[in-house]
């Protein structure tokens, strides 16, 4: 869609001028609707030291439908589905919460915030969420092990 093209380009400019800390965007003008994001685990989080690859996909209906965020690097997190999709779908990323003027830059900030402070009340992985609540030590241990194993 021509309209979305203009908007995505503008959003890319916006994001590269003000990229959230520890993130890098690989943008391909031939394939504008798929962004590859490289992200360092935030220092104050259990994911510190890890390097995560994410894909941000813009649906055909963008910006009337939200972009889709998926972790290509395995991560132990209550808000990321523990499967081959690694999808994240909460807050503004939910189709009924997304408003067309919302921007990708806010999505990137949301992702970073969630790595620092997971949202256990809106978890996609219920068992990881309850571990986070009841056995924080155990959660942190596994999360760090996964960083070592998958995100180096």
Partner 1 sequence: MDSDDEFNSSGSEEDFNNDSDASFGGGDDDSDLDMEDNDIGFETQDKDIKKSKQKYEVDFQVFGPEQVQAQQDNQIEEVGNILGQPPEAAAILLRHARWNKERLIESYMDNTDKVLESAGLGEAALHPPKIEKVKGFTCDICCEDGPGLETFAMKCDHRFCVDCYKHYLESKIKDDGEAARIRCPGDGCNRIVDAVSLDFLVTSDKLRDRYVELLTRTYVDDKDNLRWCPAPDCENTVECGVKDKDLPRIVPTVHCDCGHFFCFGCSLNDHQPAPCGLVKKWLKKCEDDSETANWISANTKECPKCHSTIEKNGGCNHMTCRKCRNEFCWMCMGNWAEHGTSWYNCNRFEEKSGYEARDAQAKSRQSLERYLHYYNRYANHEQSAKLDKDIYLKTEKKMTQLQMQTGMSWIEVQFLDSASQALQQCRQTLKWTYAFAYYLARNNTTEMFEDNQKDLEMAVENLSEMFEKSTDQLESLKVEMMDKTSYCSKRRIILLNDTAENLRKGEGLVIDLF
Token digits of residue 104: 């990708």
Considering the complex, what minimum distance in angstroms separates the CB of residue 61 from partner 1?
6
**Which residues 92-151 are close enough to bind partner 1 by CB under 8 A?**
95-96, 99-102
Residues 74 and 27: their CA atoms lie apart, in Å, by: 22
Considering only 3-11, 23-31, 75-83, 133-141, which stretch makes contact with partner 1 by CB under 8 A?
3-11
The tokens 């003027």 sit on which residue?
Answer: 101
Burial, 114: exposed, middle or buried (Cβ in 10 Å; 0-12, 13-18, 19+)? buried
Residues from 60 through 89 that contact partner 1 (CB under 8 A): 61, 63-65
Measured from the CB atom, is 84 or 96 closer to partner 1? 96
State the Cα torsion 61-91-51-54 to the nearest 10°: -10
Q: Is 89 a catalytic residue?
A: yes
Residues that bind partner 1 (CB under 8 A): 3-4, 6-7, 10, 61, 63-65, 95-96, 99-102
């Amino acid at each position: 869609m021509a309209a979305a093209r203009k908007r995505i380009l503008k959003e890319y400019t916006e994001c590269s001028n003000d990229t959230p800390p520890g993130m890098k965007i690989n943008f391909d003008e031939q394939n504008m609707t798929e962004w590859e994001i490289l992200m360092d685990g935030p220092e104050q989080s259990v994911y510190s030291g890890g390097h995560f690859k994410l894909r941000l996909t813009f649906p055909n209906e963008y910006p009337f439908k939200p972009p889709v965020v998926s972790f290509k690097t395995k991560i132990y997190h209550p808000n990321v589905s523990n499967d081959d999709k690694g999808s994240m779908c909460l807050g503004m990323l939910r189709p009924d919460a997304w408003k067309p003027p919302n921007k990708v830059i806010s999505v990137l900030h949301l992702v970073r915030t969630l790595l620092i402070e997971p949202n256990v009340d809106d978890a996609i992985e219920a068992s990881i969420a309850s571990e986070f609540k009841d056995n924080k030590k155990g959660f942190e241990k596994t999360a760090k092990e996964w960083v070592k194993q998958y995100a180096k």
